[in-house]
Chains A and B, each alone.
Chain A
Amino acid sequence: MPELTNLTTDEAIVRQVQLGDSEAFGILVKRYEIKILHYARKFLFNYTDIEDLAQDVFIKAYNNIQSFDASRKFSAWIYRIAHNEFINAIKKKGREPVSYFDVDVLWPRLVSREKADHRANEQELRKMLDYCLNELDLKYREPLILYYLEELDYQEIADILHIPVSTVGVRLRRGREKMKWFCQKSGYHYEQ
């Protein structure tokens, strides 16, 4: 089997794992455990079993690694597993309502992609996410985390959440507006 280096792509490592090199899976876990833990902490605030849930994500990933299509991005695939695990945890604990259907999936109003000024304000936005994120509904919270904190693009977020690409734009825009409102309400000033 070829030697794995830091520069080896995720997808190449997965191919090794699929061929039976279980040790190679450890590299993927190390590459993604901080990201998944970060995602879990932001998405599942007030949960004490974050580490266990993150561990379950990697166990599920290993169980199902043979279903991964190496022509696609591993990052979107592992985040999809994490999303499912976290949603199941929320349903199980019943702390927040999980909606199964939203009108913005049916026919999202087309919105423009992120503009340059939004990108320029990202630093400020990230601070605000720390401050006001918990106030947001799940459906707005998750795209904001994935876009601003995990730095994934629209297509990847659409693949993780299984929603239309245009819905990602709609939720990001509404999420920012709602966050601004919550931040202002709680005394934090937000310049969009």
Chain B
Amino acid sequence: MNNNLEEQKLKQPSSISEKVLGKISSGQIKMRPRAIFILKIIAVILAVFFAAIFVVFLISFIVFSLRSSGLWFLPGLGFRGLGILFNSLPWLLIFITVVSVIVLELLIRRFSFSYRRPLVYSIFGVFILVLLGGLAVAKTHWHADIFWQAQEGRLPIAGEFYRQFGAPKLNFVHSGLVATTTDGSFDLETGRGETLRIFIASSTRFSLDKNQEIIKKDDQVIILGKRDNDSVQAFDIRRVDKRFEPFDRQPSPRPMRLRGR
């Protein structure tokens, strides 16, 4: 019965089907070649791939920057540390990362596995993946090596970016290697290649450091204290693990700027 109805319907003259078929036979409308659609899909997949790589790069670079500037260790220094951390975060990089994640999500949203799920789940999934990727890259020496190439003037394209954001100049947080020690002060060589004189007062705290009386040459330290030209009155000093970029540089035949000066 239904088949008969459909058969009758198919036999009935249809204005739309006649018009459309007329346009097809006269060549007014044409099928677009399959290659165009394949190229479009490839372009979208490549855009997703490069956007993901870019976000992973940014996240890993932010982690590197936080570690090299000493900001990474501030949460261990109490509320004051957290306040300084908030004021010193690389907000521009964080903003670019957030925008890039949104762009990545918009690209992924074209695929059914994404749009069939609530946006929150999709964004959360994307964020977790790029965050894990970023942290994995941040664990390698990759950024530290590039940073040193930039410091030595051997990185023409992204050199300025690495010099500016890789070890940012901060007013209240200073990290680096102890170069020389004297009574009541020591010299600190920073990732930016500067030497700061750090003054220790009786009120200076040595956070989370049981060997506070010993500040030795080549120690890696984070100093909290307001910078005045090239000197800093420290109110908090923290010694950090030796494995700390960018100072934990892999052995290289190239001359180093910080060590062995």
Residues of A within 8 A of B (CB): 6-7, 17-18, 22-23, 25-27, 29-31, 33-34, 37, 51, 54-55, 58-59, 62-67, 105-108, 155, 158-159, 162-167
Q: In this assembly, does B20 line the interface, its C-beta being within 8 Å of a C-beta of chain A? A: yes
Q: In this assembly, does B261 line the interface, its C-beta being within 8 Å of a C-beta of chain A? A: no
B16–A23 contact, CB under 8 A?
Answer: no
- B contact residues around A22 at 8 Å (CB): 21, 24-25
Residue of B nearest to A102 (CB): B119
**Shortest CB–CB separation between residue B111 and chain A, in angstroms?**
10
> In whole angstroms, what is the CA distance A166 to B118 when docked?
8
> In whole angstroms, what is the CA distance A167 to B117 when docked?
9
B32–A66 contact, CB under 8 A?
Answer: yes
- A contact residues around B32 at 8 Å (CB): 63-64, 66-67
Q: In this assembly, does B213 line the interface, its C-beta being within 8 Å of a C-beta of chain A? A: no
Given contacts A6-B10, A63-B32, contact A55 B20 (CB under 8 A): yes
- A contact residues around B44 at 8 Å (CB): none
Q: B6, B36, B40, B118: which contacts A107 (Cβ < 8 A)?
A: B118
Which of B20, B31, B33 lies at the interface centre, i.e. has the most chain A CB atoms within 10 A of its CB?
B20
Residues of B within 8 A of A (CB): 3, 6-7, 9-10, 12, 14-17, 19-21, 23-25, 29-34, 36-37, 40, 109, 112, 115-120
Known: A29-B16, A30-B17, A106-B120. 19 other contacts (CB 8 A): A6-B10, A7-B3, A17-B31, A25-B24, A26-B17, A29-B14, A29-B17, A30-B10, A31-B10, A33-B14, A33-B16, A62-B29, A66-B32, A66-B36, A66-B37, A67-B34, A107-B118, A159-B112, A167-B118
B20–A26 contact, CB under 8 A?
Answer: yes
- A contact residues around B33 at 8 Å (CB): 66
A30–B20 contact, CB under 8 A?
Answer: no
- B contact residues around A29 at 8 Å (CB): 14, 16-17, 20-21
Residue of B nearest to A161 (CB): B115
- B contact residues around A66 at 8 Å (CB): 31-34, 36-37
Residue of B nearest to A62 (CB): B29
Q: A18, A30, A33, A162: which contacts B115 (Cβ < 8 A)?
A: A162
B15–A51 contact, CB under 8 A?
Answer: yes
Given contacts A33-B14, A66-B34, A66-B37, contact A55 B118 (CB under 8 A): no
A55–B119 contact, CB under 8 A?
Answer: no
Q: 23 interchain pairs (CB within 8 A)?
A: A6-B6, A7-B3, A18-B34, A22-B21, A22-B24, A22-B25, A25-B20, A30-B12, A33-B16, A33-B17, A58-B20, A59-B29, A62-B29, A63-B31, A64-B32, A64-B37, A65-B31, A67-B40, A106-B118, A106-B119, A164-B117, A164-B119, A166-B118
B20–A59 contact, CB under 8 A?
Answer: yes
**Shortest CB–CB separation between residue A73 and chain B, in angstroms?**
12
A62–B24 contact, CB under 8 A?
Answer: yes
**Shortest CB–CB separation between residue B118 and chain A, in angstroms?**
5
> In whole angstroms, what is the CA distance A6 to B14 when docked?
17
What are the 8 closest A-B residue pairs judged by CB atoms, nearest first?
A29-B17, A67-B37, A66-B34, A107-B120, A106-B119, A162-B115, A33-B16, A58-B20
**Shortest CB–CB separation between residue A40 and chain B, in angstroms?**
11
> In whole angstroms, what is the CA distance A167 to B36 when docked?
32
**Shortest CB–CB separation between residue A146 and chain B, in angstroms?**
15
- A contact residues around B117 at 8 Å (CB): 164
**Shortest CB–CB separation between residue B6 and chain A, in angstroms?**
5
A25–B21 contact, CB under 8 A?
Answer: yes
- B contact residues around A23 at 8 Å (CB): 21
**Shortest CB–CB separation between residue B1 and chain A, in angstroms?**
12
> In whole angstroms, what is the CA distance A106 to B6 when docked?
42
- A contact residues around B30 at 8 Å (CB): 63
Residue of B nearest to A66 (CB): B34
> In whole angstroms, what is the CA distance A155 to B7 when docked?
29
Q: B12, B16, B115: which contacts A58 (Cβ < 8 A)?
A: B16
